[in-house]
Amino acid sequence: MRGEVLILNLNRPDALNALNSTMFDELDSFFSSEYKEYDANCIIITGKGEKAFAAGADIKELHGLSSAQAESLSRKGQIIFSKIEEFHLPIIGAINGFALGGGCELAMACHIRIASSKAKFGQPEVGLGIIPGYGGTQRLIQLIGKGKATELLLTGDLINAEEAHRLGLVNYVTEPEQLMDRAMEIAAKMQTRGPLALSGVIRSVNQYFSSAHEGYLFEAKTFGEVASTEDFAEGTKAFIEKRKPVFQGK
């Protein structure tokens, strides 16, 4: 806690804060609660360490999943990130480093994003033979538009903080040492606003995109289908073995 701002750290720095099942469960537990025991009126999510916000999902946990298991995991991640997006308090993502795959999807679920100049963003899942499964195919389009979003999703290319700002993926870019101060500055501004009004804004903005619900379901179904392919097995195995994958289109 800093004042009335709750700082939530993604704390697996040795694994670049990759999102494993334990972290998902902790996020789910946190955002399923009103957390009234904390006298907070804003939340900042950031990554522990200097290298990463969250460098994707834990690939070792994805390798070997059946189609049904993968679809279930995708829906679980989507539901958790929707809880973040729909949370009644404003949530600021302070992106201190790599925000890749699931980490980028988590950042996009935040209401406001501030990036360190060292941050990198991307949805590189196609390089593993899979697609984003936690809402990335939907939120990236909402934030930066279909054309550029489709390019980034199809190529898996990474972009730096300045490009992310130019595209509208992040609101501000700061020097690394100023990141949390800038996040706190924005949080302090919102602390002077009516809390019921802030909650109303969050609900109203989300309502604009409510028709996209079927898109999330389709993403999860497709994630499950692709996860049962030989290409995905090869992609994840190659990642674990630190080599380039050899895809066969099977």
pLDDT at residue 34 in the model: 60
The answer to whether residue 188 is domain-embedded is: no
Q: How many domains does the chain have?
A: 1
pLDDT at residue 11 in the model: 95
The answer to whether residue 112 is domain-embedded is: yes
pLDDT at residue 222 in the model: 87
The answer to whether residue 218 is domain-embedded is: no
pLDDT at residue 224 in the model: 87
The answer to whether residue 43 is domain-embedded is: yes
The answer to whether residue 17 is domain-embedded is: yes
Contact assessment for residue 45 and residue 93, using Cβ atoms and an 8 Å cutoff:
yes
Q: Which residues are catalytically annotated?
A: 105, 125
The answer to whether residue 28 is domain-embedded is: yes
The answer to whether residue 114 is domain-embedded is: yes
String of DSSP letters for 64-131? T--HHHHHHHHHHHHHHHHHHHT-SS-EEEEE-SEEETHHHHHHHHSSEEEEETT-EEE-GGGGGT--
Write the CATH number for 174: 3.90.226.10
Mean pLDDT by 10 residues, the chain (250 residues): 81 94 93 69 94 90 86 94 94 98 97 98 95 95 97 98 98 98 95 90 87 77 86 85 86
The answer to whether residue 95 is domain-embedded is: yes
Range of the domain at 24: 5-178
